Chains A and B, each alone.
Chain A
Amino acid sequence: MSVASGIEGLYRDDGPRLWRALFAYTGDPEVASDTLAEVFAQALNHGGSIESPQRWIWRSAFRIAAGEMKRRRTPVPTTALLMGATASYEMEEPAIELVAALARLPRSQRVAVVLHHAAGYPVGEIAAILGTSRATVKVHLHRGRRRLAELLGEDNGS
């Protein structure tokens, strides 16, 4: 299998999930789309030098997204603003409210919550992606869920 076809397959399998995670992380569909394109383009341009493309893509995507958020004016991702930004997407209101609440979490909590709940990664894999310990990820997840529940006024389910 060629490098390009391998990355294509990864895009097909992980692309939508990664886009949703990036949208949840950044609160900006344009940043999510731009980041998704950039990270897969970089993966293709690296040829065969990446030994674990999936992990590399997920880790690099969040770094690229963080850089994009720095470069662009940071919008205040209220529910109302997100409604407008996602008007051309099929997105349910509870999901938009969730993304607005996620934006109020510290970055470390937000990325842990997004990788776990939006991307479906287990704690150990999140620790590997972020280059941190499982215990740290668990703390961020616990605090992030608790804060999210407070912001949304509901049971966090844990």
Chain B
Amino acid sequence: MDLDDRFDALNRSETPDQWFDIATRTPGRNVPETMPKPLRYAGVAALSLLVVAGIVLPLKVLVPLGDHDKPLGPAGTADQSGSPVGVPDVGVITCDKGTPGVETPSVQAHVDGVHLLIPSDDRRMEVRLHPLLEIPGFDPGSDDQVWSEDNAVDPNAWVVNLPPGDYLAICDPDSSVTSHEVMSGKALSAPLTIVDPQGFYAPFADLACPDPEAFYTGVPFPELNPLENADAVLRRALVGIQAADEIVRAGYGIDSTARGWQLLSWQVVRGDRRMVATVTAHSAADETGETLSFEYQACSGSGIGSAANDPGVAHGVGNPDAPLATPYEVPGYTRCDPYDGATCVPVWVTWARLGTLSDQPEVQKGLPDGSGNLPWCPSDSPRGCTFDPDLQPMILFMPAADAERWFQAEGCGRSYDAICSGVSGKPADEA
């Protein structure tokens, strides 16, 4: 069987009818709930819409901030770190009757990207930015487009990860303008320059190979040690990274909000300075919880992403053969690999509770000292590193028998609502 036969098989596949779902998403438009020629309906997909997203843990993952941990300054003003006077930090793009314009010929980047504002217009427009020059490692189309009415009020609503450089802004009512039409001048455009005087943007480099492979993996948030920096998390999550490999951030850095991880990209550099892999991290949630997901591309032969059991599927939920175990252990109870699925039972504890039970160094490092700050907190940290370990929920995965023994002995931990706190073992809000 060749590829074309397989695509033929795909094109014979049954498809669900989503028209009822479409009708329910368009109230007031009198869309009939059935089609004149209904397609076969499989049912599963529509039922899936009834699934409600489950709990999302408020875990904060700390990563090195370095120069990127700077406050955002007001628009059009100089700050104390040397930003140029007069260059606004919010760009304004207009689409007057479809004609693009910029009120800010230049805009300076924030720590989390470039903030753009599109004043409301009578007509809904797709606004895109096209780079004048090719940008290494940058994927056009991934984060360079917004609908005008979604961005008319809040200048933080459109934060793009566009590198510093020169761009052409276009207003495209039906997403039909091609990059060729923009670059050849056949489509109306307005120039916009992005500047980055504070060096928030770390440039991408091209991979050393022209034909990388794509991989995915993820770490459930309850397994993330909030003290691990991104380097440690990536080394734990990705298969095949060598000890001497350097993990270098790319793109814009993290901001101080919960969406920080979604903005991060990384590159893996070998000793000969060749870029052998790029990684993009983002959080993803479904009914079973929240996961830090990684999508990465790696050069063949680099060893990255090549798990012995199944190349291309490094490890992750649903792959019980993969060797990634929860890092936390409690004496007297057996640790369970969460990727073994149904045999593992979650036991909910706060970090404070975990700290009374485990002498693992990484757990102890998560307990604040007498000042209330985490012990590793840099002395010059502007915000300090205060941390209440009883507000930090964690999950210990155990085999069912061990988990039941825990529940009986401790009287807590069956759920987030019954989490074991560090004070008495009772739920945190009762302790």
**Which A residues contact B (CB, under 8 angstroms)?**
4, 8, 11-12, 15-17, 19-20, 23-24, 29-30, 32-34, 36-38, 40-41, 44-46, 49-53, 55-56, 59-60, 63, 66, 69-76, 78, 81, 88-92, 94-95, 97-99, 103-108, 110, 117-118, 127-128, 130-133, 143, 145, 147-149, 151-152, 154-157
B6 touches A12 (CB 8 A): no
Q: Which of A46, A63, A104 has the most CB of B within 10 A?
A: A104
Q: Which of A34, A60, A72, A73 contacts B45 (CB 8 A)?
A: A34
Footprint of A on B, CB under 8 Å? 1-7, 9-19, 21-22, 25-26, 29-31, 35-37, 39, 42-46, 48-49, 123-124, 128, 139-142, 145, 173-180, 210-218, 262, 282, 284-286, 288-291, 293, 295, 297, 310, 312-313, 316-319
Q: Is the beta-carbon distance between B22 and A37 smaller than 8 angstroms?
A: yes
Point out the residue from A36, A72, A157 that lies within 8 Å of B4, measured CB to CB.
A157
Q: List 17 A-B contacts (CB under 8 A).
A: A33-B16, A33-B48, A37-B21, A41-B26, A45-B29, A49-B124, A50-B174, A53-B174, A60-B175, A72-B286, A73-B286, A73-B288, A73-B290, A73-B317, A88-B43, A154-B3, A155-B2
Greatest chain A CB density within 10 A among B19, B30, B174, B310 is at B174
A112 and B288 CA atoms in complex are apart in Å by 32
* CB–CB A41/B10 < 8 A: no
What is the CB-to-nearest-CB distance from A1 to chain B, in angstroms, rounded to a whole number?
A: 14
Complex-state Cα separation, A66 to B282, whole angstroms = 12
Check B2 against A157 for contact (C-beta < 8 Å). Answer: yes
Give min CB distance, A16 to chain B, whole Å: 4
* Chain B positions within 8 Å of A92 at CB level: 9, 12-13
Interchain CB contact under 8 A, A89 and B13: yes
Chain A residues near B6: list those with CB within 8 A.
94-95, 97-98, 152
Q: How far is the CA of A145 from the CA of B377 in the complex (A)?
A: 51
Q: Return chain A residues, CB-CB under 8 Å to B286.
A: 72-73
Per a CB cutoff under 8 Å, which of A108, A110, A130, A152 touches B3?
A152
Chain A residues in 8 Å Cβ range of B11: 17, 20, 118
Least Cβ–Cβ distance between A88 and chain B, in angstroms? 5
Complex interface: chain B residues within 8 A of A89 (CB): 13-16, 42, 44
User: Chain A contacts of B31 at CB under 8 A?
Assistant: 4, 44
| Nearest-CB residue, chain B, relative to A124 | B178
Q: A65 CA to B175 CA in the complex, in Å?
A: 16
Q: Are A90 and B14 in contact (CB under 8 A)?
A: yes
Residues of chain A with a CB closer than 8 A to B5's CB: 94
Top 9 closest A-B pairs, CB basis?
A: A33-B45, A41-B25, A90-B14, A37-B21, A95-B10, A95-B9, A98-B6, A16-B15, A51-B174
Of B10, B128, B215, B316, which is within 8 A of A98 by CB?
A: B10
Contact in complex: A71, B44 (CB < 8 Å)? no
Contact call A12/B37, Cβ cutoff below 8 A: yes
Q: Which residues of B contact A55 (CB under 8 A)?
A: 174-176
Q: Which residues of A contact B25 (CB under 8 A)?
A: 37-38, 41
Roughly how many angstroms separate A63 CA and B147 CA in the complex, as a whole number?
12
The verdict on A15 contacting B318 (CB below 8 Å), with A20-B13, A78-B313 known, is no
* In contact, A104 and B13 (Cβ under 8 angstroms): no
Q: How far is the CA of A70 from the CA of B17 in the complex (A)?
A: 24
Contact, CB under 8 Å: B45 / A99:
no
**Which B residues touch A76, using CB under 8 A?**
216-217, 313, 316-319
- Measured between beta carbons, the chain B residues less than 8 angstroms from A106 are 212-214, 297
Please give, as numbers and ranges, the residues of chain A lying within 8 Å of B9 by CB-CB distance. 92, 94-95, 98
Does A95 lie within 8 Å of B13, measured CB to CB? yes
User: When the two chains form their complex, are residues B15 and A15 in contact, meaning their CB atoms are under 8 A apart?
Assistant: yes
B295:A117 contact, CB within 8 angstroms: no
